[in-house]
Amino acid sequence: MQHRIIVLGAGYTGAIAAGRLAKRLHREDVAITLVNAEPDFVERVRMHQLAVGQDLRLRPFSEMFAGTGVELKLAKVTAVDVDRKTVEVEEAGEAGAAGAAGAGGAAGAAGKTEVLEYDTLVYALGSGWNTQGVPGTAEFADQIASRPGALRLRERLARLGAGQPVVVVGGGLTGLEAATEIAEARPDLDVALAARGELGDWLSPKGRGHLRRVFDKLGITAYEHAAVTAVEADRVTTADGTHLPAAVTVWTTGFAVHPIARATTLEITETGQIAVDRTMRSLSHPDVYAVGDAAMALGPADKPLRMSCATGTPMAWQAADAIAARLTGGKIPKAPLRYFNQCVSLGRKEGLIQYVTADDRAVNAALTGRLAAIYKELVCKGAAWGVANPTLGIPTRRRHIARQQNRTAAKAVKTPA
Ligand X SMILES: Cc1cc2nc3c(=O)[nH]c(=O)nc-3n(C[C@H](O)[C@H](O)[C@H](O)COP(=O)(O)OP(=O)(O)OC[C@H]3O[C@@H](n4cnc5c(N)ncnc54)[C@H](O)[C@@H]3O)c2cc1C
Report the nearest approach of ligand X to the CB of residue 316 (Å). 7
Nearest residue (CB) to ligand X, 6 versus 231: 6
Nearest residue (CB) to ligand X, 136 versus 148: 148
Q: Residue 230's closest CA among 218, 246, 215?
A: 246
Site string for ligand X, 161-190 (x = CB under 6 A): -------------x--x-------------
| Residue 126 found at the interface with ligand X (CB under 6 A) | yes
End-to-end CA distance of the chain: 12
Q: Distance between CA atoms of 410 and 29, rounded to whole angstroms?
A: 7
| Residue 121 found at the interface with ligand X (CB under 6 A) | no
Taking CA atoms, 263 is separated from 79, 274, 275, in Å, by 8, 11, 14
Nearest residue (CB) to ligand X, 174 versus 354: 174
Report the nearest approach of ligand X to the CB of residue 104 (Å). 4
| Residue 292 found at the interface with ligand X (CB under 6 A) | yes
Contact 13, 312 (CB under 8 A): yes
The phi and psi torsions of 349 (rounded to 5 degrees) equal -105, -15
| Residue 103 found at the interface with ligand X (CB under 6 A) | yes
Site stretch for ligand X (CB under 6 A), options 64-72, 120-128, 239-247, 358-366: 120-128
Taking CA atoms, 237 is separated from 63, 173, 194, 232, 359, in Å, by 47, 22, 10, 8, 34
Q: Distance between CA atoms of 67 and 87, rounded to whole angstroms?
A: 25
Site string for ligand X, 53-82 (x = CB under 6 A): -----------------------xx-----
Residues contacting ligand X: total by CB under 6 A: 38
**CA neighbours closer than 13 Å in the CB half-sphere of residue 93:** 10
Q: Distance between CA atoms of 340 and 354, rounded to whole angstroms?
A: 9
Report the nearest approach of ligand X to the CB of residue 265 (Å). 18
How far, in whole angstroms, is CA 202 from its chain's centroid? 21
**Total residues belonging to the chain:** 417
Residues 242-281 that bind ligand X (CB under 6 A): 258
Report the nearest approach of ligand X to the CB of residue 404 (Å). 30
Contact 293, 307 (CB under 8 A): yes
Site stretch for ligand X (CB under 6 A), options 102-110, 193-201, 231-239, 387-395: 102-110
Residues 382-401 that bind ligand X (CB under 6 A): none
Q: Where do runs of H (alpha helix) occur along 25-159?
A: 47-51, 61-64, 94-97, 137-140, 147-159
Residues 306-335 that bind ligand X (CB under 6 A): 307-310, 312
| Residue 38 found at the interface with ligand X (CB under 6 A) | yes
Q: Distance between CA atoms of 142 and 192, rounded to whole angstroms?
A: 15
| Residue 19 found at the interface with ligand X (CB under 6 A) | no
Q: Which residues pair with 133 in a beta bridge?
A: none
Question: Of 6, 7, 13, 108, which one interacts with ligand X (CB under 6 A)?
Answer: 13
Contact 299, 339 (CB under 8 A): yes
Contact 228, 159 (CB under 8 A): no
| Residue 45 found at the interface with ligand X (CB under 6 A) | yes
Nearest residue (CB) to ligand X, 14 versus 390: 14
Q: Distance between CA atoms of 85 and 193, rounded to whole angstroms?
A: 45
Question: Of 11, 108, 175, 207, which one interacts with ligand X (CB under 6 A)?
Answer: 11
Question: Of 82, 290, 343, 402, which one interacts with ligand X (CB under 6 A)?
Answer: 343
The phi and psi torsions of 36 (rounded to 5 degrees) equal -145, 150
**CA neighbours closer than 13 Å in the CB half-sphere of residue 378:** 7
| Residue 10 found at the interface with ligand X (CB under 6 A) | yes
Q: Distance between CA atoms of 83 and 74, rounded to whole angstroms?
A: 24
Nearest residue (CB) to ligand X, 105 versus 136: 105
**Of all residues in this chain, which one has the CB nearest to ligand X in the complex?**
11
Site stretch for ligand X (CB under 6 A), options 7-15, 64-72, 223-231, 407-415: 7-15
Q: Which residues pair with 74 in a beta bridge?
A: 36
| Residue 12 found at the interface with ligand X (CB under 6 A) | yes
Site stretch for ligand X (CB under 6 A), options 100-108, 181-189, 363-371, 400-408: 100-108
Site stretch for ligand X (CB under 6 A), options 56-64, 123-131, 207-215, 219-227: 123-131
Please give the residue ranges that form the binding site for ligand X (CB under 6 A): 9-14, 35-38, 42, 44-45, 47-48, 76-77, 103-105, 124-127, 144-145, 174, 177, 258, 292-294, 307-310, 312, 343
